[in-house]
Structure 1
Amino acid sequence: MLRSIAASVRAYTGPYPSWGAPTPEACRLVTERLAEQHGLPSTRRRPDAQPACVLDSLVRTLLSQNTTDTTSARAFDTLKLRFPSWDMVRTAPLQDVADAIRVGGLAEIKAGRVQAILSTLQEERGACSLEHLRGMHPAEAKALLLGFKGVGKKTVACVLLFALELPEFAVDTHVWEISKALGWVPTNASRDQAYDHLNELVPDELKYDLHVLLVSHGKQCPACAKAGSPKQRAAKPADGGVACPLADLKPPPSQLKTAYRAGPKHRTGDDMRPQSPPEVAKKRRKRKVQPKDST
C-alpha cells in the first residue's frame, strides 16, 4: 500500500501555473472509466511478501529505456542469471555485462551506467544497495537518484512509486501522449514538463492506479496509441470495435493548445540514445535553408 504522506495544501511549483487541468474530478473520472475497461490494478502486495529491492527496481527501469517491456525483462533476467549479485556485476568486465543485456539494445551504454551506479554505491555506502532510501524524505531520495548518470525523472518516479511505494506520478510515453490528448498538458510539453505538472495535480491516492491504467490503455487502445498525430489517432477505430472510454473526454485536435512559452526542447535524463557531438549540433543550428530559384 502506498505510504501515507501528510496531507497539506501545496503551492503549485510546476511549469504551467495557469493551465488548470487536470482537476481532481477529471483524474477520478479517467481512473474510473479505465478501471471499468481494464480492471483496477492492485496497490497492495501480499503481507508475507518482501518489499521490492530498490536497486533491482532502478536497474530494471534503466534497462527499460528505449526498448520494450518484453526485451527489457529478458535483459534483466539474463543479467541476474549470469551475475547472481550486484557486486559481481560491478566487478565484471564491461563487455560481459553488456553481452548479458544485449537483447535490450544500447548494451554498452546501459552496462556502463549500471556499473557506474554500483561503483558509486560501493564507494559511498560500502555496499551495492539502495535500501537506505526507504528512510529518506522523498525529495532527498529523488535528488540522490537524479545524481546518477542516465537516471531521469521518469526512472526516479518509477522507483519511488513501485519500490518505495510513495505517491509519484511517473510519466512514460503512454501517459505523456494520452495526457496531451486529454488537454491535461500543452501539446508542446516535454515529458519532463508533463511530469512536473501532473505530479503536482494528480491526487496522491490516484497516482498508482491512474499511472498503471494509462500505461495499459496506451498499449491496448489504437485510438490512444503513441504513433501518429492527434488527428490520426482520433481517426483510428478502437481495438476490436470497443469504444475508447476516454473518447468523449478528449477535445477535438483543433482545440488542443500549446503553452504560451514552451520549455527548451531537450532529451530527458531517461533517454539512452547517442547524441550528436557538440560541434555537429552547432553546425546544424547555423545551417540555413537556401532559397529556391524562382526561375
Structure 2
Amino acid sequence: MNKEKRLEILTRLRDANPHPTTELNFSSPFELLVAVTLSAQATDVGVNKATDRLFPVANTPQKIYDLGVEGLKEYIKTIGLFNAKAENVHKMCRILLDKHDGEVPENREALEALPGVGRKTANVVLNTAFGWPTIAVDTHIFRVSNRTKFAMGKNVDQVEDKLLKVVPKEFKLDVHHWLILHGRYTCVARKPRCGSCIIEDLCEFKDKTE
C-alpha cells in the first residue's frame, strides 16, 4: 500500500472518530492497568462488568492487595482465566507498593516487569494513560493491518514495527484505537462488513463482501 492511501485511510478514520479511546472503563492509570491485564482472552464488555463491581470497593494497589487473592477472585470470576489473573494482579499490587510507591510507572521496562504485563499491555497503558505514541497490536489490529495491506507482518511485533514506520506522527497517538475499533465492528474476522466500511475503496483486500 502506498503512502497516499495510508494517509487517506487515517484521515477518514480520524474524521469519523476524532477523539477515540479504549472501551475499558477506568478513571486512573492503575484502574486501566488492572483492566487491560484482565482483558487478555476476554471481552472489554466482560471486563467492565467485573471492574464495575471491583473498582468501587478496591481501586488502588493497597486496597486490591488487602482483598487477597481469594477476595479478588470473587469480583473477577466471570472473566476467563480468572484464577491466574487474580494471582498476577495481586502480585502486581505488591510490587507497585514495594517498588513504585503505589503508583503505575510511566516506564516500559518497569511495566513489563510486572506479573501478567507484556508488551501489548504496556503499550496500552503508556498510550492511553500517559499519552505516549505507542501502538499496541492485538488480534484485531493484526488482522486489519494485514487484510487491508496497510502494514503487513507475520507476527504482532512485525506489524507493530511496520505501523510505527508508516504512520505519520500526527496520527500515532490514536491509530491504535482507530484500528482496534475498525476490527471490532467493521473489519470483523469471519465476514468483514465491507459494504458499510468507510475505507472500502482504499483497502487492498481481494475478497471483499457485499
Residues 149 and 205, structure 2, Cα contact 8 Å, conserved in 1: no
CA 1:196 to 1:75, structure 2 compared with 1: closer, same or farther past 3 Å? farther
Map of 1:102 onto structure 2: 77
Residues 41 and 212, structure 1, Cα contact 8 Å, conserved in 2: no
Aligned partner (choices 109, 130, 148) of residue 114 of structure 2: 148
Note the alpha carbon deviations across 1:186-234, whole angstroms, 9 max, x for none: 46x212331233123322320233222222222222xx1123xxxxx4x
Distance 2:124 2:91 in 1: 20
Map of 1:55 onto structure 2: 30
Gaps of 5+ in 2: 22-26
CA 1:208 to 1:237, structure 2 compared with 1: closer, same or farther past 3 Å? same
CA 1:64 to 1:196, structure 2 compared with 1: closer, same or farther past 3 Å? same
TM-score, structure 1 as length reference: 0.61
TM-score, structure 2 as length reference: 0.83
CA 1:193 to 1:43, structure 2 compared with 1: closer, same or farther past 3 Å? same
Map of 1:262 onto structure 2: none
Residues 161 and 168, structure 1, Cα contact 8 Å, conserved in 2: yes
Map of 2:201 onto structure 1: 248
Deviation of residue 155 (structure 1)?
0.9
Q: Does 1:30 align with 2:3?
A: no
Task: Classify the secondary structure of the residue corresponding to 2:42.
Answer: coil
Residues 154 and 171, structure 1, Cα contact 8 Å, conserved in 2: yes
Q: Does 1:162 align with 2:128?
A: yes
Q: Write the letter of the residue equivalent to 1:192.
A: D
Residues 37 and 117, structure 2, Cα contact 8 Å, conserved in 1: yes
Distance 1:196 1:145 in 2: 20
Q: Does 1:67 align with 2:42?
A: yes
Note the alpha carbon deviations across 1:17-52, whole angstroms, 9 max, x for none: xxxx674x443211222345xx223279xxxxxxx5
Deviation of residue 84 (structure 1)?
4.8
Map of 2:24 onto structure 1: none
Q: How do residues 142-221 of structure 1 correspond to structure 2 at under 5 angstroms?
A: 142-186=108-152, 189-221=154-186
> Rg larger in 1 or in 2?
1
- Normalized per residue, the structure richer in helix is 2
Residues 99 and 107, structure 1, Cα contact 8 Å, conserved in 2: no
Distance 1:170 1:144 in 2: 17
Residues 54 and 163, structure 1, Cα contact 8 Å, conserved in 2: yes
Q: How do residues 118-157 of structure 1 correspond to structure 2 at under 5 angstroms?
A: 118-125=93-100, 127-130=101-104, 132-133=105-106, 141-157=107-123
Q: Which stretches of structure 1, 4 residues or more, deviate above 3 A after TM superposition? A: 184-187
Task: Classify the secondary structure of the residue corresponding to 1:56.
Answer: helix
Deviation of residue 55 (structure 1)?
1.7
Deviation of residue 113 (structure 1)?
0.8
Deviation of residue 91 (structure 1)?
2.8
Q: Name the Cα RMSD after superposition.
A: 2.6
Q: Write the letter of the residue equivalent to 2:134.
A: E
Gaps of 5+ in 1: 1-20, 45-51, 134-140, 228-232, 255-295
